[in-house]
Structures are given as C-alpha cells and as structure tokens.
Structure 1
Amino acid sequence: MPVVSTPYPPGTPCWVDLMAPDQQAAIDFYRDLFGWQGEKGPEEFSGYAILTLNDKPVAGIGPAMAMGDNPPPPTAWTTYLSSADAEATAARITGAGGALIVPAMEVGTAGKMLIATDPTGAVFGVWQPLDFFGAQIVNEPGAVIWNELNTSDPAAASSFYPAALGVGVAPMEGMDGYFALNVDGRTVGGLQGLANQPPGTPSHWATYFSVDDVDSTVDAAVKAGGTLLAAPFDSPVGRMASIGDPQGGPFWIIAAQGPTPS
C-alpha cells in the first residue's frame, strides 16, 4: 500500500524524523540519496522540514536543539506511533514504566506530539493527528518500509507497548527470536533483542527505507560522506544494509522481496 490517504490506527508507526546538527546538510544528503523534495520550513516551527516523494510527505528533518534542561538530541531517526489522544497516551506510558522526554505539546494545527522512552531505554515519539496524519507514501523505494524495536529486554518491551499504546506482540512465524508488532490484526513493525547488534548497542527503534538496489545506494551514500555500518547481505526478507549518514544518524536500507506490510 504505497499511498496512505487516511489516518493511521492508534499504535501504528506513522512518521519518522531526524534532528541533525546541520539541518541543511542532512536535507541535502537524504534528498540526493532517496530522491526526496523539500527545504527548510517556517521559522515558527524552527525550520522543521517535511520532505516529500512524488509530492507526498515521507519524513521530517529538523535542527537538533536543546529543549529545556535537556541537551540537543543525538542524530537519530525517531519513529512516531499514532495516538488518538496524546495526553492519555502519555499517562499510560508513565504508568507502564516509560518516561517522558518531551511532554505532549501542540504543533500548530498539525497535531500533538510527545517524545518518550520505553522501560528498556528506547526512544520513540507519539503523534496525535489533527490536520496532518503522517507519511502518505510508504513501502516503495525512497520511503519507509519497516520500523523495528531492538531492545535489551524483549519481555519488558512486550509488556510495555500493549499497555501503553495498544500494540500487540506475537512471535513472527519462521523467525526465531523475532516478534511482530500488530495493530488490529495487521503487522506494523518488528521487535527483537540485541543479540545481533554490536556490543554496547542501546535499545533503539530502527528505521528501514526501501530502495531498488542496496549496493548502489550504499555506494552513493558512502561517496556522499556516509559510513557503512553493516555491509549488504541477503536475508529471508530481502537484501539489506545499514548506513550512518555524514552526521552519524544510523538507518537501514532494504530491497524487499515478497509481500510488504500493507
């Protein structure tokens, strides 16, 4: 389902964004890599840029800034889960053992957002849509195709997300140690432990972007100043690789084979 025209059901990943020390450099890198369009946005929203593919929103890039007593965020892609009520979701997050980094706040007429950590330390966002519901292109080259929680404690995470966001967790058929995140009976993401991650890797949400050719995309990213974090390899779901952008932001690319989430 490449084009999304209606709001995402609560609990579904609906948006990703990146906060970068050099916003313009980040926009240029990803625009060249994925064929996105877009530029810095209004100053009233700190220049936050909504990048588009085929004239439809796919991701956001903003400047990394300190908020209150918090230091500027690390350069990393944040996954946002949809919510019907950001304040109520915030209460469930803290009640289930999570913590708020940025409490629920209005973003003009677009919606309400918050940033939180789950009990294992993974950072994620919550988005309550008003005028803007999130990505309108998914599961095609240049767009997000998968969101995945890599956690130090799968059992704790498997208890938290159902309680806080109504997301179901179930073993993924044919993939030992991998779990599907489900909303309304539909798989919307994945969950796994850190066994396959480099030592010392903290819990985190990973963003996967779809591409036509993993190897050529890796070459282009490295030539543009990116770093290869995981060399291209074949998996049961497609060929993939992990890249760090020139400012250190990690992400995955995949040329998926077989059906993608709808």
Structure 2
Amino acid sequence: MTTDARTPEHPHRPAWFDLSTPDAPRARRFYRDLFGWPVQQLDETYALVGADGGEPTGGIGQAGPGSPYTGIVVYFPVPDVEAALARAEELGGRRRLEPQSVPGRGRIAVFDDPDGNPVGLLGA
C-alpha cells in the first residue's frame, strides 16, 4: 500500500498551524465565526485553536514589531528541527525563525522556501 499526504501514516502531514496577525482579537472572532473553531485565549497575545477538551491544532497570535512573520505558517513534524532546518538551507531555503523550545509542543523553527513562503518545523 502506498501512502500520501492525505493518509495519517504519512510522516510529514501538517502538525500545527500558526496565524500571526496585527489584530489577533479580530482574527480569533473571524475564524471562530467562520469555521466554528473553539478558541482558548492564553493571554493578550496568543490563543490556542482546537476541539473543546481535545488537543489544540494551532494558534492565533498577535504580531508585533519584532514578529518574524505575519500570516499563516503550517508546521510539519520532523525528528530533528536543527537538521531539517540545515537541510532546507542546503536546498535553497532561508531561516526566518531560529530553533526554539515551546512549552508543551517541543522545538520549532521557521524558514522561507525558495519562493519566499514561510514553512514551520516542529520536532522534539
């Protein structure tokens, strides 16, 4: 049997999304009203999105002057964030957010692909 990105067995299916916006309260309302997303606000700058009582699947954050990006970034699971980031650079990507630890999620990083699209990495 072959697997593709639509099957749960695919190792690089999206693992998380993050929406960074200059108006997080507006974005939270918009997506909650559009898709019915339950939103759990953690503080003034960030909220988790996911099923009530279930594992969150993404977040909506307030972009500020020092934010590494605005817009939606999809995070893909990798065994080693630093190694995957280095490989992305070898293939023509450019670092946007250095690897860092996120409580409860592991390590993350963001790079731009050769066309300038931000892509996230999520690993242990």
- Place the TM-score, normalised by the shorter chain, in its bin: 0.7 to 0.9
Would the alpha carbon gap of residues 254 and 188 (structure 1) be closer, same or farther in structure 2, given more than 3 Å must change? closer
Aligned counterparts of 1:144 and 1:242: Cα–Cα separation in 2: 14
Offset of residue 141 of structure 1: 4.3
- Whether 1:253 aligns to 2:121 is yes
Partner of residue 154, structure 1: 24
Partner of residue 171, structure 1: 41
Partner of residue 111, structure 2: 243
Aligned counterparts of 1:143 and 1:165: Cα–Cα separation in 2: 21
Give the letter for the 1:147 counterpart.
F
Q: Deviations over 1:180-204 (max 9, x none)?
A: 1133543232111113514xx54x1
RMSD, aligned α-carbons: 2.4
Question: Identity over the aligned pairs, expressed in percent?
Answer: 28
Q: Deviations over 1:128-163 (max 9, x none)?
A: xxxxxxx3227x742211012212111112221222
Offset of residue 56 of structure 1: 2.7
Which has more radius of gyration? 1
Aligned counterparts of 1:216 and 1:151: Cα–Cα separation in 2: 29
Q: Is the CA contact (8 Å cut-off) linking 1:141 and 1:212 kept in structure 2?
A: no
Aligned counterparts of 2:77 and 2:19: Cα–Cα separation in 1: 18
Partner of residue 142, structure 1: 12
Partner of residue 87, structure 2: 220
- Whether 1:180 aligns to 2:51 is no
Q: Is the CA contact (8 Å cut-off) linking 1:240 and 1:255 kept in structure 2?
A: yes
**Count of residues in correspondence between the two structures:** 121
Q: Is the CA contact (8 Å cut-off) linking 2:97 and 2:110 kept in structure 1?
A: yes
Partner of residue 98, structure 2: 231
SS at match of 1:170: strand
TM-score normalised by L of structure 2: 0.80
Q: Is the CA contact (8 Å cut-off) linking 2:24 and 2:45 kept in structure 1?
A: no
Aligned counterparts of 1:234 and 1:184: Cα–Cα separation in 2: 25
For structure 1, list consecutive stretches of 5 or more residues without a partner in the other structure: 1-53, 59-134, 257-262
SS at match of 1:230: strand
SS at match of 2:8: coil
Would the alpha carbon gap of residues 171 and 253 (structure 1) be closer, same or farther in structure 2, given more than 3 Å must change? same
Partner of residue 58, structure 2: 189
